[in-house]
A and B are shown apart, each in its own frame.
Chain A
Amino acid sequence: MQLKVNGRMQQGREGLSVTGLLDDLKIHPQRVAVQLNGTILKRERFPEVVLKDGDTVEIITFMAGGAGEGGAAW
């Protein structure tokens, strides 16, 4: 299936959970927020939420910043 992850198209296997996606991307779930199709997911739900073809996923973390700087995240 096709997923859009942080603005980039990528393939995902059927039955892939949010936790599975983070594992595949080698991203530690501790310090990220995940937005799925515009809705923020609670961390506790990462293992149970299964991704579907065409899903848009945003994986968000803390980056360097002070004020006003940088473009919008997406």
Chain B
Amino acid sequence: MVTQDPLRLGGREFRSRLIVGTGKYPDNATMQRAHEASGAQIVTVAVRRVNLDRTQESLLNYIDESRYTLLPNTAACYTAEDAIRYARLGREVGLSNWVKLEVIGDEKTLYPDTEGLVEATRVLVKEGFVVLPYTNDDVVVAKKLEDAGAAAVMPLGAPIGSGLGIRNPYNIRIILEAVKIPVIVDAGVGTASDAAIAMELGCEGVLMNTAIAGAQDPVAMATAMRYAVEAGRLAYLAGRIPKKLYATASSPLEGMIA
């Protein structure tokens, strides 16, 4: 069922609708096992200076690039200019034109600077990038990103790393109705039910890092997230019953003893 319902993104198809990060794991071996357990096919990476002291092992030793698509992000960029530069550097490193675009507007909330985000999207799309922008749950911005040529729109469910879940499902629903490009919830997920809710709303996928990496058992949580995303997607496709205030009997009244 799930394999017949691929995620279509940037001209490619993926079996998995879960995108995972590489940050904050207790160690690289745990990350590798969590990635495996998640079933994810896309993993995000940061674009950073090579550590000349070499105290750390290379991250890429722990990611089998024949199995995973690396998605460079522009995390910690606070201007469109910086984000564009990081995207270009990421393309040189990874030889791929995909970018998870972040233009951060505020240090404390890590909310996006949507003005810079739209601007950077426009520039990078013109340069041939497949742009996946992290944005807030604002339909106006989502439409601007679509107009600018983004391959998807990735609204937050809650602040990055907060684990607060999908705080405004109605805003996500409005975005889903307003844009034709895939909507992927990026940030805010804390546990499996949050991921399921995002998928039940009709999102095309969920991107998360901290919820898995920061769990007491990241491998078990990665497994839970895999099932939650699949369950949520199936429930969405199945079509849920409407919510009603009063009971509706599920057993017939006929045949009762008088």
- Inter-chain contact A62/B59, CB cutoff 8 Å: yes
Question: When the two chains form the complex, which single residue of B25, B89, B110 contacts A40, counting CB atoms closer than 8 Å?
Answer: B89
- Inter-chain contact B50/A64, CB cutoff 8 Å: no
User: Which of B75-83, B116-124, B144-152, B167-175 lies at the interface with chain A?
Assistant: B75-83
Q: Count of chain A residues with Cβ under 8 Å from any Cβ of B?
A: 32
The reply on B136 being an interface residue by CB < 8 A is: no
Minimal beta-carbon separation of B61 from chain A (angstroms): 10
Question: When the two chains form the complex, which single residue of A25, A31, A66, A72 contacts B52, counting CB atoms closer than 8 Å?
Answer: A25
The reply on A1 being an interface residue by CB < 8 A is: no
Instruction: Specify the chain A residue showing the minimal Cβ separation from B78.
Output: A72
User: Which of B4-12, B40-48, B241-249 lies at the interface with chain A?
Assistant: B40-48
Minimal beta-carbon separation of A3 from chain B (angstroms): 12
Q: With A and B bound together, what is the CA distance between A7 and B49 in angstroms?
A: 9
Q: With A and B bound together, what is the CA distance between A6 and B49 in angstroms?
A: 7
Q: With A and B bound together, what is the CA distance between A70 and B78 in angstroms?
A: 12
- Inter-chain contact A69/B92, CB cutoff 8 Å: no
- Inter-chain contact A62/B94, CB cutoff 8 Å: yes
Q: Count of chain B residues with Cβ under 8 Å from any Cβ of A?
A: 51
Q: With A and B bound together, what is the CA distance between A32 and B93 in angstroms?
A: 5
Minimal beta-carbon separation of A67 from chain B (angstroms): 5
Contacts of B86 in A (CB 8 A): 73
The reply on A33 being an interface residue by CB < 8 A is: yes
Instruction: Specify the chain B residue showing the minimal Cβ separation from A43.
Output: B92
Minimal beta-carbon separation of B92 from chain A (angstroms): 3
Pull 19 A–B residue pairs with CB atoms less than 8 Å apart, ordered by A: A40-B85, A60-B48, A61-B58, A61-B60, A62-B72, A63-B59, A64-B24, A64-B31, A65-B44, A65-B73, A66-B21, A66-B22, A66-B24, A67-B73, A67-B161, A69-B76, A69-B160, A70-B48, A70-B76
